[in-house]
Amino acid sequence: MLKGVKAVVDLGIAPGGWSQVVRRKVPQSAVVGIDLLPTDPIDGVTILQMDFMNDDAPDRLKEALGGDADLVLSDMAANTVGHQQTDHLRTMALVEAGLLFATEVLRPGGTYVAKVLAGGADNQLVAEMKRHFATVKHAKPPASRKDSSEWYVIAQGFKGRESDKGSGWAGPAEGP
């Protein structure tokens, strides 16, 4: 996944593990991260402390990156309220927002990786990802606790921006 990667955006960077791995494996890459929580500085990583859902956040990330990305990582999760369905829906809204951002910033061939909860991405979201990426898979890393509801959806082979193709795609459908 990191082969040939030159520019990475880390959504939900705190505490910084993914960005540290990227910097270790691909030290020449540009990495920009964002999180509501304070994050200790990471050598070679630009960190924005702000809400990704803020209207200015996508433009600030693009500006800090200085061009298109090869990889968008999203470890964002909504603050939980203890109601599993509500927590899942709130986190999936962040995954959808991350997907929209990825379609705006990725280079053709790029990858979007997002944390999802309790069973992974729903069929509608997977279908949307398949429209924009060559492959979409779910994975549970070995480091994840067996009892954890965390999974990751990996969308590889970004097909390019729809606006570049002239269809005028406006992003994922709004929820109810």
Residues 94-123 pLDDT 10s: 999 999 999 999 999 999 999 887 655 678
Map out the domains of the chain as residue ranges. Answer: 7-164
Poorest-confidence range of 5-9, 28-32, 75-79, 148-152? 148-152
pLDDT band at 162 (very low <50, low <70, confident <90, very high): low
Q: Please indicate whether residue 165 is annotated as part of the active site.
A: no
- In this predicted structure, the answer to whether residue 132 has a pLDDT above a threshold of 50 is yes
List the structure tokens of 158: 């970004």
Q: How many CB atoms lie within 10 A of CB 124?
A: 13
pLDDT confidence of 49, banded at 50, 70, 90? very high
- From the list 3, 6, 62, 115, the catalytic residue is 115
Rounded CA separation 66/146 (Å): 39
Question: Tokens standing for 119?
Answer: 């069973």
- Token look-up 């433009």 returns 59
- Distances 122 to 82, 112, 152 between C-alpha atoms, Å: 20, 16, 12
Q: Which residues pair with 35 in a beta bridge?
A: 49
Q: In which residue are the tokens 């990825």 written?
A: 102
pLDDT at residue 166, rounded to an integer: 47
What is the spatial distance between Cα 22 and Cα 76, in angstroms, rounded to a whole number? 17
Q: Could you tell me which residues come within 8 angstroms of residue 172 by beta carbon, excluding any fewer than 6 positions away?
A: 96, 99, 100, 125, 128
Distance CA 53, CA 95 (A): 11
What is the rounded distance in angstroms from the CA atom of residue 69 to the CA atom of residue 32? 10
Would the pLDDT of 56 be above 50? yes
Span 7-164 CATH architecture = 3-Layer(aba) Sandwich (3.40)
Rounded to an integer, the average pLDDT of 19-43 is 96
136 — pLDDT class (breaks 50, 70, 90): very high
